[in-house]
Amino acid sequence: MTKLNQIIAIEKSVKAKAGRVLGDAGRELSKAPLLSGISRTYQPKDEEGEQLPPESTKVQRRVEEQLREVASAMTRLFDVTATKDRTNAVATADVVVDGEVLVPDVPVTYLLFLEKQLAELQAFVKSLPVLDAAESWAFNDAADCFATDPVKTVRTKKVPRNHVKAEPTEEHPAQVEVYYEDIPVGYWTTVRFSGSAPAKRVAQLSERLEKLQFAVKFAREEANGTEVVDEKIGDRVFGYLFGE
């Protein structure tokens, strides 16, 4: 019994052969000398005249012959494609994750769609920004995002001070050096907020996606094992197109 995956496996080569035969036929039939032939015989005017050998060129390409070759190759392509599409219409499988049916009876064409979309989602999830691991984060309902614990820091102000290096004398004034001292004047309380996701959450999403991707691939393989609905439409099509 032929399976859908076997039809899919040969479809590409059948399509390539049909395209090659059609292209070759078109090129051959466009060469007028290949379709032309001639036969000439020579007869001298009298018996003493020069005898010349006959000349002939055979017809090398014939339209009807080329039509038969094209029809043969295209018929195979039409039948294989029709068989694949007809079987795709009935080939289904369940998507099973962790032993549970997540989505039942999914058509094989939709499973192909799912595979592509899940691969794009996996790439998206793996690029999600994650919270800075150097900080401790907790979800803040009021801000609707993650926040750190408050951190209190001192705000200081530089205040000038005088340092007497030498007392004044009768001959010299005092030697005074100005320096600045940091004096606490207040306190900053800082809370950092972030809309990023915890690394654990991103890893969880990626793991779920990976499980679903495997499940979809398994389902596709199962659906592709469906026995084909054999179609033979090429003969009817080309019987009409190229028939007498």
User: For residue 86, how many C-alpha atoms fall within 13 Å in the half-sphere facing its CB?
Assistant: 15
| Secondary structure in 3-state letters for 111-178 | HHHHHHHHHHHHHHHHCCCECCCCCCEEEECCCCEEEECCEEEEEEEEEEEEEEEECCCCCCCCEEEE
pTM above 0.85, yes or no: no
Helix (H), strand (E) at residue 101? strand 100-107
pLDDT digits (tens, 9 = 90+) for 137-182: 999 999 999 999 999 999 999 988 888 777 777 777 878 788 888 9
Which pLDDT score is estimated for 151?
A: 94
pLDDT digits (tens, 9 = 90+) for 21-48: 999 999 888 888 888 888 999 888 888 8
Which pLDDT score is estimated for 137?
A: 95
pLDDT digits (tens, 9 = 90+) for 6-20: 999 999 999 999 999
How far, in whole angstroms, is CA 27 from its chain's centroid?
35
Q: Percent of the chain at pLDDT above 90?
A: 71
The Cβ of residue 233 has, within 10 Å, a number of other Cβ atoms equal to 14
Q: How far apart are CA 241 and CA 244, in angstroms?
A: 9
The Cβ of residue 228 has, within 10 Å, a number of other Cβ atoms equal to 21
Q: How far apart are CA 71 and CA 65, in angstroms?
A: 10
Nearest of 183, 161, 165 to residue 174 by alpha carbon:
165
Residue type, 84: K
Which pLDDT score is estimated for 165?
A: 76
Question: What residues have CB less than 8 Å from 179, skipping those under 6 apart?
Answer: 160, 161, 163
pLDDT digits (tens, 9 = 90+) for 183-236: 999 999 999 999 999 999 999 999 999 999 999 999 999 999 999 999 999 999
Which pLDDT score is estimated for 243?
A: 86
